[in-house]
Amino acid sequence: MNRKKGYRSFVRVLWITFLSISLGVILLFGAASAGLLGEMPDFRQLENPKTNLATQIISADNTVLGKFYFNDNRTPISFKEIPPEMLEALIATEDERFFNHSGIDFKGTARAVFYLGKKGGASTITQQLARQLFTGVRSRNILEAIAQKIKEWVIAVRLEKRYTKNEIMTMYLNIYDFNYNADGLRSASSIYFSKKPEDLTLSESAMLVGMLKNSSLYNPIRRPELVRKRRNIVYQQMLRNTLITEKEKDSLAALPIELDFNPQSHREGIATYFRAHLQQFMRTWIANNPKEDGSFYNLYLDGLSIYTTIDSRLQTYAEEAVSAHMPNLQREFFRQNVPAFNATAPFLDVEEDEVNSIMEQAKRRSERWRKMKAQGLNKETILASFEKPVPMEVFSWSGDIDTVMTPTDSIRYYKHFLRAGMMSMEPQTGHVKAWVGGINYRHFQFDHVFQGKRQIGSTFKPFVYATAIDQLKLSPCDSLPDGYYCVESAKFGSHDAWCPKNSGDRYIGKRTLKNALANSVNTISARLIDKVGPRPVANLARNLGVSSRIPNVPAIALGSADLSVYEMVGAYASFANKGIYVKPVVVTRIEDKNGTIIYQASPETKDVLSEESAYVTLKLLEGVTESGSGVRLRHVGVDKTNPIFRDVVTGYPYAFENPIAGKTGTTQNQSDGWFIGMVPNLATGVWVGGEDRAIHFETIAYGQGATMALPIWGSFMKSCYADSTLVVSKDSFEAPDKITIPLDCDSLSVARQQKSFFKDEDLSDLGF
């Protein structure tokens, strides 16, 4: 009897315990659902989980150039973009019974409780998603951690009710942080393997799945061997679930971790200077284009897609051309500016007072000065801080260097480095295809394509010639006296005559216009601008898109104005576009996160020159590369006399045979070197120089545009022509249907040739 009573008591206690636990669990779940254990997402949040989406920058050839984001470099993918092998690896490793539960794996939970987690955790993929979306990092406080776990269970069940299994897996892979700004599978695929998700191999997929356990611990950059072991555990799980064979597992496990690491920070990757310019473009656009509800788009959170005109192939070749030439040029500049040769290096031909002024201006523009000034510190304290040595990482063409130096010394060190700017554009559409604003964005963030404006030298002369051709119908075959010449400047507001000299004081009696432009003869340009006047020349430049100030003085004929690469390329491209200016375009369209087009570019054009005048100007510019300062583009051998190319096997390895219209430019003290070259469907401009005009080569042998800038253009075009996927023209420029201006100098009549000497230097007598 007592035994019966004891048994009944035991059963009663067992039921009470079971019911109490069950009731407790129900109450806990109810409390969690009611938000008593902490805030819970409402139905709207569950249906539209809030995630920050990065804005993608997409090239014309459909390559992601980079992204704009604050903390989350995330671009979502669809389920069909996920490789099937990755989905299999994910389920096998993270949640074997994923398709058999409704958010909570009770069998896995019981195992985790019984073995105290030693044989794996119990979090399902859905629970992990719930944690990523709503509950956050697990608390170290045990009571808070239990509350978080219960909330995850509740949210997981709710998510399972609202989303399919495929949607849950997609959301999870879209939201996971794989480190190095690799937020989500698309970013991780691009950053670690330079691939799209759908192109991942099983080995690559398994590595990323292995990182899901703890991406900070399983870091393939810092701990490749640990990551390889974790990846092999993924293979073991796939074998356990009969997704691969033992032989396949052994074969895959033997493979090393192979990365194509491509970090996507704002200061690294391709087209960094262009992306910085695009950022300013977008800020202006956003400020002037509110949404329908009056709010504004967020460039860093709203997941926009910006479709640009940049071609990733041309951009790569442009960056490679700059990186190939500039170290050689820099090496020669360093050689000429050692203290033994130049006590004020890198500044040349300047007094110490001017050096001190340049250095103080640089300090005032520095981030150090700005921050200390904002703290209310006085000038003396700030200047003193520039003389205290500090650890820093500085740029070199051989790689960054960890060193200790004063901020003053670092400023002077950086001023030694020559800078470059390069832009390439399609004349017919205005589409900018390549944009290189400097030599290294991480260390030199000033953009020498759009921001930088430097004296342009002889690259301005074609505007003078084009004005004369348009007004006077001059022919490239017409001759002018090449002798010392002065322009009386009284009519231009000056009391002194302007008497430019030719380079080297060389004069040969007479020259054709084609020969004069090819050899950049200053006296001929002076005669032309004296006849047509500086104002029409300046007006032509403005109509060709030059917005910078051009003074109304004859000296503009030799390029005294300061203009940007952006302006010059846009203007030159008009000659190749039959005299029609097309404003450079960098963005073709913008889409919101749903793919709705919210901006579509429309070209801005202007008829500036007659088709004939533009074509005749092109023929003059062709002469520059046929027999003038750009003839190096036709060479094949090594220039043994130029030490800049002492380590280059082929010297000028271009040997272009196709028509090229171009012009070099060199400023008076060799501080700026230019080359702008065109083929029918691509106009490209290059500038090279120091940060300040006091930084320059001593002689024109090194400081001319043909040495500083032209090799970059040649290297770039050679790469373009070698790429069979590109269509860069080698054809002749298209001629107008009717040409009245003589172009064939050999067939001109003797009378025309004799009369073209312009007796008494009178340009108005052009009747024949």
Q: How far is CA 278 from CA 252, 374, 587, in A?
A: 43, 28, 8
β-strand partners of 391 = 404
Q: What type of residue sits at position 407?
A: P
Q: Say what the pLDDT of residue 343 is.
A: 86
CA angle 58, 63, 65 (to 5 degrees): 60
Q: What type of residue sits at position 742?
A: P
Which ranges in 337-489 belong to alpha helices (H)?
352-364, 367-374, 379-385, 407-415, 461-472
> Are the C-beta atoms of residues 605 and 580 closer than 8 Å to each other?
yes
Strands (E), 571-638: 580-582, 587-591, 597-600, 605-607
Q: Which residues contact 549 (CB under 8 A, 6 or more apart)?
A: 561
Write the CATH number of the domain with boundaries 74-253. 1.10.3810.10
Q: Say what the pLDDT of residue 145 is.
A: 64
Tell whether the torsion through CA atoms of 7, 13, 16 and 17 is positive or negative. negative
What is the rounded distance in angstroms from the CA atom of residue 568 to the CA atom of residue 397?
Answer: 28
Closest CA to 82 of 184, 226, 191, 235: 184
Closest CA to 102 of 125, 84, 78, 86: 125
- Please state the φ and ψ torsions of residue 689, each to the nearest 5 degrees: 180, 180
- Dig out the tokens for 5 from the structure: 């009573």
Buried b (16+ CB within 10 A) or exposed e, 723-738: eeebebeeeebeebee
Longest CA–CA span in the chain (Å) reads: 144
- Dig out the tokens for 75 from the structure: 């671009």
Owner of token pair 């009944």: 8
> Are the C-beta atoms of residues 238 and 249 closer than 8 Å to each other?
yes
Q: What are the extents of the domains in the chain?
A: 74-253, 347-415, 420-758
Enter the pTM of the model: 0.81
Closest CA to 696 of 720, 730, 673: 673
Q: In the structure, how many helices (H) and strands (E) does the chain have?
A: 27, 18
β-strand partners of 498 = 487
> Residue ranges of the chain with pLDDT lower than 70?
1-8, 10-11, 13-50, 106, 108-122, 135-147, 489-495, 636-652, 747-768
CB neighbourhood size of 742 (10 A): 19
Q: Which residues contact 584 (CB under 8 A, 6 or more apart)?
A: 423, 425, 430, 432, 545, 566, 569, 570
What is the rounded distance in angstroms from the CA atom of residue 513 to the CA atom of residue 623?
Answer: 10
Tell whether the torsion through CA atoms of 622, 627, 630 and 635 is positive or negative. positive
Q: Which residues contact 23 (CB under 8 A, 6 or more apart)?
A: none
> Are the C-beta atoms of residues 384 and 368 closer than 8 Å to each other?
no
Q: Say what the pLDDT of residue 132 is.
A: 80
Closest CA to 160 of 105, 238, 241: 105
Q: Say what the pLDDT of residue 50 is.
A: 61
Closest CA to 65 of 56, 75, 74: 56
116-141 tens-digit pLDDT: 444 555 689 888 888 887 766 555 66
Write the CATH number of the domain with boundaries 420-758. 3.40.710.10
> Are the C-beta atoms of residues 26 and 20 closer than 8 Å to each other?
no
How is the beta sheet containing 305-308 ordered, strand by strand?
64-68, 55-58, 305-308, 587-591, 597-600
